[in-house]
Structure 1
Amino acid sequence: NHNGPKPSSLKKKQMLVKVLDCSISPGDVIMVQGNMIMMHQPFPFVPGMDICGVIVDDNFSTKFQNGDIIVASNGMNPVGGMAEYMVINENEAVIKPKGVSNEQGASSSSAITARNAVMENVKHGDR
């Protein structure tokens, strides 16, 4: 895509990532429907908040390097994970653990959200 992110457009602490896998989260669905008030994206935009990808330009990151496979969630980016490349802020990414597939990595944000929603209300002794 000629309109996609370019290494020359990276700001400090941003990295260019080649997307390997992208999940479709509930937030993506709400955003495509135009109902995401707090993160409204003007049309057209590329959905895909949660990805697994490989860093192709680390932009002098102190946390990551080119070739690292990361899991990231970047809901505020109008060029989402359903694009071939995506700009990721380094503080919104983690190294994908070994033994976790790219698909599992891309969908981990939704799983963590669900876990946190359940665990937030669990008290000692609950069954």
Structure 2
Amino acid sequence: MPFHSKATLEHWVTEFVDARNAGEEIRVVVQDGSDGDDTGLVVMPMEHLPNSVWIEPCDSGDELSWHVLIEPGAETLNLTSFELNALTHDLQVAAELCAFLHERSLGHYEPQPEPDGTPEAATAD
């Protein structure tokens, strides 16, 4: 699966927030990849939901796609039409960010870090 460092994901999230003027609370946190590499994980707190969502790449065969994972809630949501409408806005931002990350990662190559933790030279995006 293609490697995306935490620094690269932070840069892409900043681009998204600046262009979209939304999602200021989106963060990239450390996530150890299957080989122990810092792959980064995009976390988006939901303003109108007690849950957070994670956005991460998913290797599905020959194709890389990005997925939104919504953590399970402890309680049933009881929303007014206004609250539901606000929640759809949160979900729309998550969907747009997921699509943005997918677009940015197409054709992006970032070398795996060396075993000593120093990354090789990466292509500029």
- Please confirm whether the aligned pair reaches a TM-score higher than 0.5, indicating the same fold: no
* TM class, shorter-length: under 0.3
Higher RCO (C-alpha under 8 Å, 6+ residues apart) = 1
Could you tell me the TM-score, scaled by structure 2's length? 0.23
